[in-house]
Structure 1
Amino acid sequence: MTLINLLFNLSLSLLIFGISLRVLSTSMSAFLGTRLQKALIVLTSNSPLSILTGAIATAFVQSSSTVNVLMVTLVNANLLNLYQAFGVVLGANIGTTVTAQIVSFNLSQYAIPMMLCGLFLFPWTNKSRIAGSSLIGLGGLFFGLNLIKQSLWPVLAYPLTLKLLISLSENIYLGIVLGIVFSAIIQSSSLVTTLVIALAQMQALNLQSAIAIALGSNIGTVATTLISSIGLSKEAKATAYADLLFNVLGVLFLLPFIKQFAFIISLTSQDPGRQVANAHTIFNVITAFLIVPFIRPLANLARRCAGI
């Protein structure tokens, strides 16, 4: 089989995973409906509450981009101020790590039963349809992840792939750049992190390199938020810039300590995939709460970036 065919199979596997993630996200958004928007407006009276609200909302809808774009929209409509929205954005970065935690479990054997149960529930009531599509999406995640692993094995045998993996293990900056570019192109940090988890579980990527790519994906996924702010108010643009500043500063903060961080994370689990998922979660939780005392200064810096 040629490299082109192998890459096509891998791309198809990633597409199946991405579609499944979108189905799950759309189903949960439909379930929450306008309640999500109302909750985000009401439950943002202080920074800790805003962070918690953002984390829970994103864990439900399985998409930090959805929540962050909604923040930009609500700020543009003057329903939230920048400080409130910034807290939710911090929480969204925590909530999005739930996807990585889910896929790090080896539950591919339950993928088909989940999707079959979802298909059974789909035709009945509106609520059962939402539950059914959620199960189809969740089952599709595990099914897609299994296909990704199967597609990766032949690709890893190619010398070019091996050279890239060796370069990544020797240069964390290359890993960060790769994470930024890949995540910005496909507009999903969850998909990038899932691919990294699969590579780690296959022993094809060391923990430090995996963490670097995951960190880069945090920055790259902000592209969606930045694009959504085009043509909106300066305050809405500042919300998108605040998201970018937070993610860039978080990566810069960890870079000098990435070896020590990787060592600590290695103690949390024997499973390399679980280690990557834990690193993603712990990093986002720590940086979110470290930034809380500096929300106003960072928000003001974001305003200046937006020309306010």
Structure 2
Amino acid sequence: MIVLLKLSAGMALLLFGMQFMKTGLENVAQRRMRQALHTLTRTAAMGTLAGTIITMLVQSSTAITVMTIGLVNARVISFTQALGIVLGTNIGTCITTQIISFNLNDVALPAIGLGAIIMTWSRRKGWYYLGQSIVGFGIVFLGIGVITGSMEPLKNSSLFNTVMHSLGQSHLLALLAGITVTALIHSSSTTTGIIIALSHQGLIDLPMAIAMVLGSNIGTCITGILAAIGSSPAAQRVAWAHVLLNVVGVLIFFPLIAPFSNLLTITADSLPRQIANAHTIFNVISSLAVLPFIRQFAALLERIVPD
């Protein structure tokens, strides 16, 4: 029971930290985000670059995808422009995973303290929101530290080891677990953070982690689908573009988990870094592979979701 309470507390801190940081960063850049998405998406390549940069700044691909659906629904940008942004959000969200993969537990409390000082003494909203994002950043790593510490006793749990053994034996079950957890918490970055916390305690191996990371990329699509309900056909196509991009990418990568794992061992020495690199390589390849065929991709989605 104590382990479950600590694990729940760590997950709550991680979720709250991600939301707190995202809200602060969104408010810092909110004035110019819509303008940037409108003016910097004249071509698919520019849209991809804009989506990548803005997602890196806001630290939430889901938020940018939902915003893009709203802009298409309001006819501020075209469907083809929105497709470029969707490709960019998949790349931009990788920076969050890369940051989480580093062991920055020692900077968690100093970051919370620094952010709180900025929030307390700032007279301008911009500085206040910057402080908020720093506090959120610290809470994220505090949550990961709590999750990692709470999982240590699980090494001696026969039930937990049985579950993890089942997931390790079946990559399909691990994939479904990643989909389910991400769909419930609406954050692929948080799911990846939990996977990385498991890896710190040696409770997960690389192939199983890759399967769960692939699942998280499908599970994160649920928020965009919910946001598109009742919207225009063009906005619905944006949501389904996100689904199709990730599902097809997973179908291609899933049978290649074993050789992909061997490749990732070359990219880094530690398991958390290898997991982060798996997430990055998957999203970058999936997006860049579609970019040259953006018009054909748009035509396919227009058939799937007709006017």
For the aligned residue pairs, the C-alpha RMSD in angstroms reads: 1.2
State how far apart, in whole Å, the 1-side matches of 2:251 and 2:63 are.
25
Opposite residue 44 of structure 1, the aligned amino acid is T
| Structure 2 residue 234 is the aligned partner of structure 1 residue 235 | yes
Deviations 1:200-257 (A, max 9, x none): 2221111111011011100101100000001111111111011100000000111222
Q: Alpha-carbon deviation of 1:298?
A: 2.4
Runs of 4+ off more than 4 Å: none
Contiguous gaps of at least 5 residues in structure 2: none
| Structure 2 residue 44 is the aligned partner of structure 1 residue 47 | yes
SS of aligned partner of 2:278: helix
Opposite residue 16 of structure 2, the aligned amino acid is I
Deviations 1:239-281 (A, max 9, x none): 1011100000000111222211111111111110010001101
State how far apart, in whole Å, the 2-side matches of 1:194 and 1:238 are.
30
State how far apart, in whole Å, the 1-side matches of 2:154 and 2:77 are.
47
Which residue number in structure 2 is paired with residue 198 of structure 1?
197
Q: Alpha-carbon deviation of 1:134?
A: 1.4
Opposite residue 14 of structure 1, the aligned amino acid is M
| Structure 2 residue 281 is the aligned partner of structure 1 residue 286 | no
Q: Alpha-carbon deviation of 1:160?
A: 1.8
Which residue number in structure 1 is paired with residue 183 of structure 2?
184
Aligned positions, number: 305
Deviations 1:142-180 (A, max 9, x none): 111100101112234322211121112211111111111
Opposite residue 270 of structure 2, the aligned amino acid is D
Preserved CA contact (<8 Å) 1:7 1:155: no
| Structure 2 residue 75 is the aligned partner of structure 1 residue 78 | yes
**Could you state the TM-score of these two structures normalised by the residue count of structure 2?**
0.96
Preserved CA contact (<8 Å) 1:201 1:271: no
Q: Alpha-carbon deviation of 1:52?
A: 1.2
Q: Alpha-carbon deviation of 1:45?
A: 1.4
Q: Alpha-carbon deviation of 1:100?
A: 1.0
Q: Percent identity?
A: 37
Opposite residue 52 of structure 1, the aligned amino acid is L
State how far apart, in whole Å, the 2-side matches of 1:188 and 1:150 are.
22
Which residue number in structure 2 is paired with residue 65 of structure 1?
62
Deviations 1:93-143 (A, max 9, x none): 111111111111111111111111111111222232122111101111111
The answer to which of 126-135 and 283-292 deviates more is: 126-135
**Could you state the TM-score of these two structures normalised by the residue count of structure 1?**
0.96
